[in-house]
Amino acid sequence: MVMITVLILIMQACGGGDELPTVDCTDPPSFAEVSAFSACTICHASTLQGTNRAGAPSGVDYDTYESAVSGADRAVVRVYAGTMPPVGSLAEKDKGDLYVWALCGTPP
């Protein structure tokens, strides 16, 4: 419940309203099954530095399970608000998998 409250506050601060996607946690994908991360790691990878990160903040990475878990809340808020990715978009299935993974306990 605390995580959802924090996400709502972050979304309000980012101008994204006060709703999060509704998800079904019956069978959440594993970290490896969230294909959205392959799009994220173009900029959000721990192996990238400086201008190769294309403006992605240092330490906000999605190339390892541990780093993805620490950024899960932020990823949901930004993708749901439509501010990530900054260019192009993710397929609806990719967005859905990300939301379910992040909001259903970030299974390994």
DSSP 18-53: S-------SSPPPGGG-THHHHHTTTS-TT--GGGG
Specify if 82 maps to a domain.
Answer: yes
Report the pLDDT averaged over residues 32-56.
97
Output the six-digit token pair for 85.
Answer: 């990715």
Domain count within the chain: 1
* pLDDT score of 5 more than 90: no
* pLDDT score of 7 more than 50: no
pLDDT in tens, 85-99: 999 999 999 999 999
Rounded to two decimals, the pTM is 0.82
Output the six-digit token pair for 51.
Answer: 């201008």
Give the domain range for residue 77.
Answer: 26-103
Residues 6+ apart with CB under 8 A from 12: 18
Q: Given the structure tokens 């501010």, which residue do they identify?
A: 83
pLDDT in tens, 42-51: 999 999 999 9
